[in-house]
Structure 1
Amino acid sequence: MIRLLRPFARAVTYTRWLHLFMAVVWPAMWLFIDQAWWTPATAAVVLGLSGLLPAMRTVEGLQARLLLLGRRRDGEAPLIVTEPSATWADRGRIVLWLEVRLVLGALVSHLTFQLPLVTLDLVQAALGGRPAGSAWLSVQGHHWWYAVLAPLPLLLMAAVGWAGGELITRIALRLLGPSPTERLAALEERTEQLLERNRIARELHDSIGHALTVAVVQAGAARAAGDPQFTDRALAAIEETGRAALEDLERVLGVLREAERPVSGRPTLADAGRLLESARASGAEVDAELSGPLESVPGPISREGYRMLQESLTNVLRHAGAVPVRVRVAADDGRLVLEVRNPLPGAIPGPGRGSGLRGIRERASLLGGRAHTGPDAGDWHVHVELPVR
């Protein structure tokens, strides 16, 4: 019993009822003034023609959101759109919605007003009085058991109101909801947002991770060396790396604040020299070979190539320490090749610690290239190939 009464404790049940009443207010007023047979048909035609106006989708969408859906959680995708009609298919759905709402609203409204009159006639007949006769269901005779039947029309009225509200809401979700084109556009927008978040996460991981790794390695080496000159060089390297990381952090925060994206400020392979010097300052013996017109590599490929090289050198310092590193970056034959090779550390990074390597592979895949990371001939080898054109 409590489960049956639960819908009538929700405000949305009554706002849906009100929504059905509102559909027939002006046709009912028109019918009251002129009771000719053609009045309802004319009202339906006028209502259908109004659905061809683009703004009707906004008006009906706002009403349906407010009265049919009730309270919704923040961040939920809109189930009913409020943008004006953009295509004839949208206009056709609005016309169908208006006609269905008119018919269903007329039925529910008629029953809502008539069923209480039946209850009143049953009560009067049970008390020996004369029924008013205003209800469409005529009550004949005078019987005491009419009093037992009197609540049934009221219960039926409540059921009709609830069922009509549920039905009109389901119809609204079909006819006022996003069209296939709008769903596809929303999906593409959501995909772009997720890709942007992943890109920002990779940027922070590569930049801040590199800076912290260099700082830790330099600080540890300076403490072990006990040489004032070496300590000065280590502090200078930490300062330069930290400053670059702060610039990257400020740029990424600018993107998160939805400011203008400063793509031109992102480092490219033309700035690879500072990465190599940072690794050398941390104690690694870097043997670098940069060939080809790296300055002419397209911006997106050059920027992502810089991040891949940064992550590779960070992994060397983090897992292998001050070891010999061979770096080759070449731009020729319509492709960019990036290789980083170093002796295998004592412990190879396990599956749970490979987010940076996974980021390298994801970057390469998004750019239409490929990347291989793993042991090779006693070394740890990172090999990336990206199409330049």
Structure 2
Amino acid sequence: MVRMLRPFTRAVTYTRWLHLSMAIVWPSLWLFIDEAWWTVGTATVLLGLAGLVPAMRVVEGFQARLLLTGHRDGGESAEIVVTPSATWGDRGRMVVWLQTRLFLGALVSHLGVQLLLLTVDLVSTALGGGRAGGAWLPVEGRHWWHAVLAPFSLVLAAAVVVGSGHLITRIALRLLGPSPAERMAALEERTEQLLERTRIARELHDSIGHALTVAVVQAGAARAAGDPAFTDRALAAIEETGRAALEDLERVLGVLRESQKPVSGRPTLADADRLLESARASGAKVEAEVTGPVDTVPGPVSREGYRILQEALTNVLRHAGAVPAQVRVQVTGDTLVLAIRNPLTAPVSGPGRGSGLRGIRERAALLGGHARTGPDEGDWQVHVELPLS
């Protein structure tokens, strides 16, 4: 019983009924002006023309959100579009919606009124009174058992109110919801957002991980050296790397705070010298060879190339320490080649399972290139080829 009465404790039940009743208000006004048979036809034609107006979807969408879903954030409310009709398909669905709302509203409103009149007639005749005028179903005689039937017609009227509200809401989600093209656009936008969040997570991992690795290596080397001059250089390297990491962190957090903010200021391969000097200051003997017009590398490829180089050098410092490392950055034809090699300090098998190496391979794959990581003739290698087009 409580479950059956629960819909009548929700405001949306009555706002849905109001939404259906409003559909026949202005067509009903024609009955006071002219009782001709073309009243309904005139309303149908005018509503059909109104549905072709792009702004009508905005009006109906807001009204449906407010009255049919209670204007709740997310859920059904989010499924109803409140933007102007962009295609003839959208206009056609709006015409169908307005016609459906008109005829369903007329049917449900008249049925609800008739059931209430029937309830009144049953109660009145059971008490020995007369029938009210306007009822479709006549109640003959004056019998006491009419009072027993009265609750059934009242329950049926309540069922019409609740059921028609659910029905018009389902129809609204179908006809006022996004078109297939709009759903595809929303899906693409969501995909872009997820890719952006993944990219940001990778950047934080690469930048902060590199800074912490440099700081740990430099601090350990300074303590072991016991040389004030070396300690000063180590502190300077820690300061520079930490400042760069803070800049990266501030930029990424700015993008998260303002989703529409354009991504700018990200380092590119033109800033690779900063990475190489940081690795050298940490004790690694880095030999770099840069050939080709690095400055002409397209922005996305150059930025991702910088992150790949950063992660590769971080792995050298983290796992091998102060060892000789060879870095080759080559731009040839329509390909960017990044090759980093360093001696293995311990036996390793496989391409490596760390999140940093996995990120290198994923970055390369997203740009249409490929990456090889793993042992090679006694060295550890990271070899990446990225297309420039």
TM-score normalised per structure 1: 0.94
- Cα distance in structure 2, aligned partners of 1:158 and 1:76: 23
SS of the counterpart of 2:78?
coil
Distance 1:77 1:2 in 2: 26
Is 1:274 the counterpart of 2:271 in the alignment? no
Corresponding residue of 2:177: 177
Deviates more, 1:4-13 or 1:171-180: 4-13
Name the residue aligned to 2:223: 223
Q: Which residue of 2 aligns with 1:323?
A: 323
- 1:51-78 Cα shifts (integer Å, max 9, x gaps): 1111111111110011111253459982
In 2 relative to 1, CA 38–85 (structure 1 residues): closer, same or farther, beyond 3 Å?
Answer: same
Q: Which runs of 5+ in 2 are unaligned?
A: none
Between 1:174-183 and 1:8-17, the stretch displaced more is 8-17
| Equivalent residues, number | 388
Q: Percent identity?
A: 75
Quote the Cα distance in structure 2 between the aligned partners of 1:360 and 1:374. 12
1:313-340 per-position Cα deviation (integer Å, ceiling 9, x unaligned): 1111112222222222111132111111
Residue of structure 2 in register with 1:82 after alignment: 82
Assess if the C-alpha contact under 8 Å between 2:291 and 2:331 holds in 1.
yes
**Structure 1 residues 206-242: Cα deviation after superposition (integer angstroms, max 9, x where no partner):** 1121111101110111112211111011011111112
AA matched with 2:298? P
Q: Distance in 1 between matches of 2:352 and 2:10?
A: 48
Give the match's secondary structure for 1:203. Answer: helix
Tell me if structure 2 keeps the 8 A contact 1:211–1:242. yes
Segment drifting more, 191-200 vs 17-26: 191-200
Q: Kindly tell me: are residues 218 and 347 of structure 1, through their superposed partners in 2, closer, same or farther at Cα, counting changes over 3 Å?
A: farther
Could you tell me which residue of structure 1 aligns to residue 373 of structure 2?
373
d(CA) in 1 for partners of 2:51, 2:110: 24
Corresponding residue of 1:167: 167
1:6 Cα deviation after fit:
2.1
Q: Give the unaligned 5+ runs of structure 1.
A: none
Match of 2:262 in 1: 261
In structure 2, the residue corresponding to 1:78 is in which secondary structure? helix
Taking a change above 3 Å as real, the CA distance of residues 74 and 321 of structure 1, as seen in their structure-2 partners, is farther
Shift of 1:344: 3.1
Instruction: Give how far 1:378 is off.
Output: 3.3
1:30 equivalent in structure 2:
30
Does the C-alpha gap of structure 1 residues 24 and 211 become closer, same or farther in structure 2, counting only changes over 3 Å? same
Distance 1:54 1:381, change over 3 A: same
CA pair 308-91 structure 1, distance change in 2 beyond 3 A: same
Q: Assess if the C-alpha contact under 8 Å between 1:31 and 1:40 holds in 2.
A: no
Deviations 1:287-306 (A, max 9, x none): 22222222222222112111
**Residues 349, 164 of structure 1: alpha-carbon distance in 2 compared, 3 angstrom cutoff:** farther
Please report how far the alpha carbon of residue 107 of structure 1 lies from its aligned counterpart in structure 2 after TM superposition: 0.8
Q: Deviations over 1:174-213 (max 9, x none)?
A: 1100011111111111122222222222222211211111
Partners of 1:171 and 1:364 lie apart in 2 by 47
Amino acid at match of 1:261: P
Match of 1:109 in 2: 109
- Give the superposition deviation at 1:133: 3.8
Deviation at 1:101, TM superposition (A): 0.4
Q: Tell me what 2:212 maps to.
A: 212
RMSD of aligned residue pairs (Cα, Å): 2.2
Please give the per-residue CA displacement for 1:341-380, whole angstroms capped at 9, x wherever unaligned: 2233548699997222222112111211111222333332
Distance 1:20 1:349 in 2: 70
The more displaced of 204-213 and 245-254 is 245-254
